[in-house]
Amino acid sequence: MEPGRSIVSLAEYGLKNKTALVTGAGSGIGYVICKQLYKAGAHVIAVSRTLEHLEKLKQECQEIQIICCNLTDWEATEHALKYTKADLVVNNAGVALLEPVGHITESAFNKTFNLNTKAAINVIQCCLPHMKSNKHGAIVNISSQAGISAIQDHAVYAASKAALDQLTRVFALELGQYNIRVNSVNPTVTLTPMSQVGWSDPAKAKGMKDKIPLGRFATPEDVTDAVLYLLSDKSAMITGTILPIDGGFTAC
């Protein structure tokens, strides 16, 4: 167990028999979130564009429902999620294409915003009818510290996550009347395959860690703990919140 991490019974979150839809479920943070939700007794709908990853997840959690879908395709997503009845949604799917100012390409911009921002809107809207009819729901968007603080070469990624944060606030404002809560979590560099894109160089990684008061990168479990809390009724009065999980990076 990591230093400072306490043991919390998953049953305490009260997620048993809730239906939770998680995007970007095939690896990294989404994979861990799915497994923890499953252990907590939730009915999990795992969404990813990589069938191989979903099948591996299903081998470990046999009752999980898997949906293979390219979330950047608006109509395909609507079709794939048309009959889902999720009480809880985690928008975790994302991409990090790092380009310095002066060399930003239209392709990278479109790919980034289509998945990091546009897809989140579509997924939420697909799930809203069920939540509205039940007068209850919780949505957590996985954003980034880059949406709060400027980071070298992260212009497009940062903009997509800042947009996601503002969507979180507006969705929280508009959906509160239906008792639907919407929050974001904003991790620092998290030890996942995607983080290798920008942080595999030891010197660069050290430079970032030196700016984090707690002196380390996050683990998927660090992020998952916060997500489960925000999905649960333990956070019943929390909505529209942008929660850094960054070891103090954005406080400095």
**What does the pLDDT look like over 128-152, one tens digit per residue?**
999 999 999 999 999 999 999 999 9
Task: List the beta bridge partners of residue 89.
Answer: 21, 139
Write down all domains in the chain, each with its CATH number in brackets: 13-243 (3.40.50.720)
Q: What is the pLDDT of residues 156-177, one digit of tens each?
A: 999 999 999 999 999 999 999 9
Tokens, residue 126? 């697909």
In the chain the beta strands, taken as DSSP E runs, fall at: 19-23, 43-48, 65-68, 88-91, 137-142, 180-187, 242-245
Quick one: pLDDT band at residue 199, thresholds 50, 70, 90?
confident
How buried is 170 (Cβ within 10 angstroms: 0-12 exposed, 13-18 middle, 19+ buried)? exposed
Q: What is the pLDDT of residues 56-80, one digit of tens each?
A: 999 999 999 999 999 999 999 999 9
Predicted pLDDT at 5: 57
pTM: predicted TM-score of the whole model, two decimal places:
0.94
Active-site residues, by number, are 157, 161
